[in-house]
Structure 1
Amino acid sequence: MDSSKNKESSKSGGQDSSSETTEEDKPELCPGFKDADAFVKYGLGAVLSATKASAGLPQAGDEFDFYRSFPGFQEFCENYISHILQIMQHHGCRSHLRDRSKLTGLEERFDLVVDSNDVILERVGMLLDEADGVNRSQQPVMPAGFQPPKIVVSSWNRKGLGRSSETFKLLHAKNVARPQLKFKEKVDNSNTPFIPKIFIKPNAIKPLPSYFSNKQIRKERPEDLDVPTALADFIHQQRTQEHVDDMFAHPYQYEIDHLTTTDSLLSKPEPQLAETKLTYIDTLEELVTLNEKLCQQHEFAVDLEHHSYRSFLGITCLMQISTREEDFIIDTLELRSEMYILNESFTDPAIVKVFHGADSDIEWLQRDFGLYIVNLFDTHQASRALNLARHSLDHLLKHYCNVDADKRYQLADWRIRPLPEEMVQYARSDTHYLLYIYDRMRAQLLDFNHGQPGLLQSVWNKSKDISLKKYVKPIYTEDSYLEVQRKQKKSYNTQQLTAFRLLFAWRDKLARQEDESTGYVLPTHMMNKISEELPKEPQGIIACCNPVPPLVRQQVNELHLLVQQAREMPLLKVKISVYQNV
């Protein structure tokens, strides 16, 4: 019996050895990458690095023209243009490079880069569709009642714990429930100006105008019920005309204008960094408790995670707050209608609120929650005052804390619930170190100015200006398309410009109705393509879009009618000045 066991053991050992050998001899997917997951991980990092690098280049216009006047910068540009063209040729864009010698202007070279990128992205889209089971080689067929195809969005998530390798996978839109459907207050995508949501004003020096505190003035119109709708709207408009100034004013303008920086905030601090615990908040009771804790602090750090692709105005999905003792993550999708409670601590002038790059955060807080910030310190403004090499948060983390920021979730879909642990930790890191950076920067600002508070005071003043920003809702006008068209730097004839105008209006209207971003409904580069080609058949519109947006598939016949309407216009050359001076 023992001998038989030994034989089985020997046999089993031989199989294990064979499997190990097979695993070791397994060929690489491509040089340097053992599998597709490793390649995707590296590629995502490369794309993010390239995007950051491009954002650091001089902006088009006077800034770029100024730098280009220097021979060294001009030589640098020429060398890298040549290098980029070589890379594009290496990756299969030869058909776009045949007339390379004829390229003389910067705009032509830029168009070449855009066209080549489209070729690469088209191939990526085809491969993703193939992996998703969609056969793109088939000709488009559009029966009366077709189903939109599966949509792939930029939502990233690591595989489950317990795996040795860190990998990513795409999350499909159908897997993410639309949080707007559960909001107690319906999202207002109407083509009307934004009116502040605030109805109670904590820490007020100047009382809140009656328009916001009196619900009857804001919403109820009982005496209008017996008159026609048009007349009721007119009466309501006349009645609220006296409140117009209040409706569009910053509710805390007076408090912020009269805010003074105390001597303690202009003195040199002692930087502190300690281990803290994390608390996840998704109930009203927990939110109330958090607000009570914040009201006892001298300062706390705040950051937001935002989603804009599947919403017209955008959605604030998560809020991170860090004190000296504790980190908090708030599920703002679950507590959206109760977030106003935090105004008690957010508007307390005795408490410093530390943000990094607060320009957008200030507007999102107003738009979604009716929250305002009094006594703001923006570390981005401090970074600019110190003339640091870069002003991003990941640079500050490395510079002051020697922490390498994990930016794998910059493209994450923050609507996902429940949040994976890795995304929770990523969100936490954005505020966990921010108070320590705040201390270090204040001390450095004083040292930089030989102990005088002037430079530090300037950062407080710029932060104050940012806290006075007001959210402005995008408003559609008949000329809105001209600003977008001007940025394309393309010369259109009357038919093409009419098509662009009609498509722009269709896109804006549908995006508001469906609560989708204009980029989801019809990306601008696809709208340009349709306007340039003016397809005669619906199949031609489909051919101009790759991948085809689902709402374009659903309404391709309506788009075809718009293109036909544009083709009926007299064919004339449009003067550039018509839309350059808008």
Structure 2
Amino acid sequence: MEARGCGGASKEHTEPPGGQCDSAGTVLPGFRDADSFVKHALGTVVAATKASSGLPQPGDEYDFYRSFPGFRAFCETQGDMLLHCMSKIMQYHGCRSHIKDRNKVTELEDKFDLLVDSNDVILERVGILLDEVAGVNKNQQPILPAGLQVPKTIISSWNRKRGESHKRTKSETFRLLHAKNITRPQLKFREKVDNSNTPFVPKLFVKPNALKPLPEGKTTRRERKDRPEDLDVPPALADLLHQQRTRQTEQDMFAHPYQHELEHFTPLEAILEKPQPQLYRPVEETPFHFVSTLDELVELNEKLINCKEFAVDLEHHSYRSFLGLTCLMQISTRTEDFIIDTLELRSDLYILNETFTDPGIVKVLHGADSDVEWLQRDFGLYLVNMFDTHQAARLLNLGRHSLEHLLKLYCNIAANKQYQLADWRIRPLPEEMIQYARDDTHYLLYIYDKVREELWERGNGQPTQLQVVWQRSRDISLKKYTKPIFTEDSYLELCRKQKKHLNTQQLTAFKLLFAWRDKMARREDESTGYVLPNHMLLKIAEELPKEPQGIIACCNPVPPLVRQQINEMHLFVQQARDMPLLKSETAAGVRKKGSLPNPEP
């Protein structure tokens, strides 16, 4: 990306009204404001991503090109340049940056860990800064002991000059990455989100298309005494029978409700035959419906009942929620596109189980691993007869298995990734985001036809390859959503991943703050990354600040809940400092000795 001063930049990015450089020019030379900078940067990233798709693929193709000295030398030069740029970015954000130093980092896994950690740091910081820019955390102040001052946050001029009266044009995309002052959708849910530290119980009270009925609820002592098989038996035997029935009931409660149906599912012969691809309609000629009322949802379900197949996709949000929120559901038939406001209809979507679990209707998804779990967690929806086009692409050895690649390959359409990081809680949804969401399912049924056709041909006119995809898709449908459960040893995995040697005081602080973060995230329904990012947690544990102000100094920018709960955090750090100081230990070593205190539940 080229950033030039006011004198030599192109008019598109640099010439503000009146031909003068405004105050943003001192922060972002060559750009009128932050929005134009973000728009240009995003376009550059998209262009680079598209260009990368033309590179030789791993395997025989790459090895062939690699055999030419000129190609090999060019790759090494470009690789060194990229590593240098990445190291500079990592240094700027205070991350470990010896990715280019082959003496310190010899394993590919270590390099990958460095990138993942740095990416987490940067994205968490961006998220917090966007909250501050949007004014979400504007008035939150830390509670500090007398005499301590709140550190001032430096706000650049381009943020200060933007007021509520600023009008944004349609072409500006910065606002879509993170919405401003969103009312938390959780507050409107009829059923309160369950962030408790207990296992997930399936949200299913009615079971359409059942081959095996739902399990009965637990019986009371009075009910079990009235059972015929319990009459005229000794009390001890009656109690044993009751305990066995209770254990079986509890197992059934946590089991996959459609496990029996999925295990006995076989695709219909008609869908295992050679398909005749049906070309998709142009988007502009396809009827579109935004479903936001119960009547509209019922009408949609009645339409789906008469379909042989339909495509499904979800849009998810995880930053301002502990478990995450499914914000939109896109459904496309051969003739219509639908987008369901799942935040508005969250408690009513179980209605769709009538079609989602119908073994005679194919549900087409791409990369359904997460979608299957989100459907269970938020709506109590399950999939029987699902076809995952991602699994088909893998079996076809297409090199790349993304939906973006399939769209280009079969539909000659370049996917628009402009809103991939958008906040899908925004209401009302801008037209551009609606169009982006539609594209994820509009072409999917045609792709479903094309991959089935290729699988049929590769199977020499036999459905064996198709059966493999349906088998893999069925295994994905059998996945069960599991809630994150906090245990005494939950902190160990993160501690080991950081690859730091902490002494007993530091490790105690890490454990206590990890438990505090989990408690706050569940109580406030926020992600752990929003409450206290991993790199800040580790820095506080390593430095063990003596004063609350020292904790704040470890966080840049300071998360809102850290400001609010600074005194409680300081008590945990003090408790850790009071521990006997031993030599550096690994997390596993200290655990074996049992020398760490347990945080309050």
**C-alpha displacement of 1:274:** 1.7
Q: Is the 8 A contact 2:143 2:566 kept in 1?
A: no
1:198 counterpart residue number: 204
Return closer, same or farther for 1:52/1:114 CA change in 2, 3 Å cut-off: farther
Matches of 2:150 and 2:259 in 1, distance apart?
51
1:86 counterpart residue number: 84
Q: Is the 8 A contact 2:38 2:174 kept in 1?
A: yes
Matches of 1:342 and 1:237 in 2, distance apart?
36
Matches within 5 A, 1:345-384: 345-384=355-394
Matches of 1:293 and 1:447 in 2, distance apart?
32
Q: Is the 8 A contact 1:280 1:328 kept in 2?
A: yes
Give 1:503's match in structure 2, choosing from 513, 532, 535.
Answer: 513
Matches of 1:333 and 1:118 in 2, distance apart?
27
Give 1:414's match in structure 2, choosing from 424, 432, 440.
Answer: 424
Q: Is the 8 A contact 1:103 1:109 kept in 2?
A: no
Matches of 1:240 and 1:147 in 2, distance apart?
56
**C-alpha displacement of 1:571:** 1.9
> What residue identity is the alignment partner of 2:277?
P
Matches of 1:265 and 1:555 in 2, distance apart?
58
Return closer, same or farther for 1:579/1:161 CA change in 2, 3 Å cut-off: farther
Return closer, same or farther for 1:463/1:406 CA change in 2, 3 Å cut-off: same
1:278 counterpart residue number: 288
1:104 counterpart residue number: 104
Matches within 5 A, 1:11-22: none
Return closer, same or farther for 1:520/1:438 CA change in 2, 3 Å cut-off: same
Give 1:265's match in structure 2, choosing from 243, 268, 271.
Answer: 271
Q: Is the 8 A contact 1:149 1:550 kept in 2?
A: no
Return closer, same or farther for 1:460/1:110 CA change in 2, 3 Å cut-off: closer
Percent identity of equivalent pairs:
66
Gap regions ≥5 residues in structure 1? 1-20, 55-66, 153-158, 221-235
Q: Is the 8 A contact 1:148 1:554 kept in 2?
A: no
1:175 is paired with a residue whose SS is coil
**C-alpha displacement of 1:379:** 0.5
1:319 is paired with a residue whose SS is strand
Return closer, same or farther for 1:126/1:373 CA change in 2, 3 Å cut-off: closer
1:502 is paired with a residue whose SS is helix
Give 2:476's match in structure 1, choosing from 466, 482, 486.
Answer: 466
Matching of residue 531 in structure 1 with residue 529 in structure 2: no
Stretch deviating more after TM superposition (561-570 or 192-201): 561-570
1:186 counterpart residue number: 192
**C-alpha displacement of 1:49:** 8.3
**C-alpha displacement of 1:37:** 2.6
Residue deviations 1:167-199 (CA, integer Å, cap 9, x gap): 422677762111111111111111000011100
1:61 counterpart residue number: none
Return closer, same or farther for 1:580/1:419 CA change in 2, 3 Å cut-off: farther
**C-alpha displacement of 1:398:** 1.2
Q: Is the 8 A contact 1:294 1:300 kept in 2?
A: yes
Q: Is the 8 A contact 1:256 1:374 kept in 2?
A: yes
> What residue identity is the alignment partner of 2:368?
A
Matching of residue 208 in structure 1 with residue 185 in structure 2: no
Return closer, same or farther for 1:237/1:184 CA change in 2, 3 Å cut-off: farther
Q: Is the 8 A contact 2:179 2:423 kept in 1?
A: no
Residue deviations 1:44-68 (CA, integer Å, cap 9, x gap): 35567889999xxxxxxxxxxxx9x
1:321 is paired with a residue whose SS is strand
Q: Is the 8 A contact 2:128 2:530 kept in 1?
A: no
1:427 counterpart residue number: 437
2:175 is paired with a residue whose SS is strand
**C-alpha displacement of 1:39:** 2.1
**C-alpha displacement of 1:450:** 2.6
Return closer, same or farther for 1:118/1:206 CA change in 2, 3 Å cut-off: closer
Matching of residue 41 in structure 1 with residue 39 in structure 2: yes
2:254 counterpart residue number: 248
Q: Is the 8 A contact 1:306 1:317 kept in 2?
A: yes
Stretch deviating more after TM superposition (159-168 or 396-405): 159-168
**C-alpha displacement of 1:103:** 4.7
Return closer, same or farther for 1:299/1:277 CA change in 2, 3 Å cut-off: same
1:565 is paired with a residue whose SS is helix
1:18 counterpart residue number: none
2:347 is paired with a residue whose SS is helix
Matches of 2:590 and 2:47 in 1, distance apart?
33
Matches of 1:580 and 1:402 in 2, distance apart?
57
- State TM-score, norm by structure 2: 0.75
Matches of 2:128 and 2:314 in 1, distance apart?
34
> What residue identity is the alignment partner of 1:542?
I
**C-alpha displacement of 1:580:** 11
**C-alpha displacement of 1:42:** 3.2
Q: Is the 8 A contact 2:212 2:261 kept in 1?
A: yes
Matches of 1:126 and 1:308 in 2, distance apart?
14
> What residue identity is the alignment partner of 1:523?
P
**C-alpha displacement of 1:149:** 10
> What residue identity is the alignment partner of 1:443?
E
Give 2:315's match in structure 1, choosing from 305, 316, 333.
Answer: 305
Kindly tell me the number of residue pairs found equivalent between the two proteins. 520
Matches of 1:160 and 1:417 in 2, distance apart?
19
Give 1:550's match in structure 2, choosing from 537, 560, 567.
Answer: 560
Matches of 1:194 and 1:514 in 2, distance apart?
19
Matching of residue 329 in structure 1 with residue 320 in structure 2: no
Give 2:527's match in structure 1, choosing from 517, 538, 544.
Answer: 517
Q: Is the 8 A contact 1:125 1:547 kept in 2?
A: no
**C-alpha displacement of 1:418:** 1.0
2:494 is paired with a residue whose SS is helix
Q: Is the 8 A contact 1:307 1:314 kept in 2?
A: yes
Matches of 1:467 and 1:402 in 2, distance apart?
30
Return closer, same or farther for 1:396/1:200 CA change in 2, 3 Å cut-off: same
Residue deviations 1:400-439 (CA, integer Å, cap 9, x gap): 1111111111111111111111111111111110001000
**C-alpha displacement of 1:536:** 1.1
2:454 counterpart residue number: 444
Matches of 2:392 and 2:298 in 1, distance apart?
32
2:552 is paired with a residue whose SS is helix
**C-alpha displacement of 1:391:** 1.2
1:289 counterpart residue number: 299
Return closer, same or farther for 1:577/1:50 CA change in 2, 3 Å cut-off: farther
Matches of 1:286 and 1:26 in 2, distance apart?
52
Q: Is the 8 A contact 1:179 1:333 kept in 2?
A: yes
Q: Is the 8 A contact 1:268 1:446 kept in 2?
A: yes
Matches of 1:92 and 1:378 in 2, distance apart?
37
Q: Is the 8 A contact 2:290 2:338 kept in 1?
A: yes
Residue deviations 1:113-136 (CA, integer Å, cap 9, x gap): 7898799889979997997799x9
